[in-house]
């Protein structure tokens, strides 16, 4: 059977999107290739037409998802979006409640730490880029001071989002988010 030009690229993109959502919702280790391919409407054998291994898929998902976040940060910079808006959006109940479409760092960071060097290298490069973009949004301080603030803010945001998702007390979860917003804005000197 012959497919239209671009079919393979579209199929690969579809697999990436399905895997990305499933990994963020359930975790990398909990998601098997059979489940990804089934949800994508494809056979298990079709997977190897697009990826050599699950680890390659994980790297591609991370790179793709973090590149998309990076593009949003760049658009924020170009459009003059304040760091306060970024912080409040990230630490929102909407973001907390929709891990499958949210930040891959908050959803997967604990697992990524146990993956091979190539996956961690790809992740590290993207996180470094995101921190650099956030540093550009911070208005006060030298470039080194803004980078230190951005690292602290990003770490606070990721950790608070993870913790807010982990607790089963909705009020405590909301308090974690609200207090993390206050802390991050204080670090950014936005308060």
Is pTM beyond 0.75 here? yes
The alpha carbon torsion through 8, 10, 15, 16 (nearest 10 deg) reads: 120
Q: Is 38 a member of any domain?
A: no
pLDDT, tens digit, 9 for 90 and up, residues 120-132: 999 999 999 999 9
pLDDT of residue 7: 78
- The pLDDT value recorded for residue 16 is 96
Residue 12 belongs to some domain of the structure: no
Alpha carbons 52 and 189: distance in angstroms, whole number: 46
Query: Is 27 a member of any domain?
Result: no
DSSP-derived 3-state class of residue 179: helix
Quote the pLDDT of residue 5. 65
Q: Which residue shows structure tokens 């630490």?
A: 91
CATH of the domain at 175: 1.10.357.10
Q: Which two tokens stand for residue 142?
A: 């030298």
Sequence-separated (6 or more) residues with CB below 8 Å from residue 161: 90, 91, 95, 96, 102, 103, 106, 177, 180
Domain assignment present for 156: yes
Which residues of the chain fall short of a pLDDT of 70? Answer: 1-5, 191
pLDDT at 74: 94
Is residue 180 in some structural domain?
Answer: yes
Range of the domain at 64: 55-187
In a domain, 43, yes or no: no
Q: Burial of 120 by CB count in 10 Å (0-12 exposed, 13-18 middle, 19+ buried)?
A: middle
CA distances from 146 to 21, 92, 143, 183 (A): 32, 23, 5, 15
- Centre a 10 Å sphere on the Cβ of residue 64 and count the other Cβ atoms it contains: 16
Does residue 40 form part of some domain? no
Inter-residue contact 177 to 157 (CB < 8 Å): no
Q: Is residue 21 part of a domain?
A: no
- Residue 8's pLDDT is 87
Specify the number of domains making up the chain: 1
* In contact, 161 and 106? CB cutoff 8 Å: yes
Question: Which pLDDT does position 1 carry in this prediction?
Answer: 54
Q: Nearest to residue 191, comparing CAs of 140, 128, 118, 125?
A: 140
Please report the pLDDT score of residue 6 as a whole number: 72
């Amino acid at each position: 059977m012959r497919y239209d030009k671009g079919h393979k690229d579209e199929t690969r993109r579809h697999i990436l999107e399905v895997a990305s959502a499933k990994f963020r919702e359930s975790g990398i280790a909990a998601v098997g290739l059979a489940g990804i391919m089934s949800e994508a409407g494809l056979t298990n054998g079709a997977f190897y037409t697009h990826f050599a291994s699950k680890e390659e898929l994980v790297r591609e998902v991370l790179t793709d998802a973090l590149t998309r976040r990076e593009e949003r940060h760049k658009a924020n910079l170009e459009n003059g979006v304040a760091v306060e808006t970024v912080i409040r959006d990230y630490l929102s109940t909407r973001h907390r409640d929709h891990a499958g479409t949210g930040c891959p760092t908050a959803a997967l960071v604990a697992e990524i730490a146990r993956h091979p060097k190539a996956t961690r290298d790809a992740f590290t490069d993207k996180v470094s880029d995101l921190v650099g973009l956030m540093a550009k949004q911070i208005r006060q301080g030298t470039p080194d001071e803004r980078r230190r603030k951005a690292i602290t803010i990003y770490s606070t945001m990721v950790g608070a989002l993870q913790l807010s998702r982990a607790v089963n007390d909705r009020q405590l979860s909301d308090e974690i988010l609200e207090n993390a917003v206050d802390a991050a804005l204080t670090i950014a000197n936005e308060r």
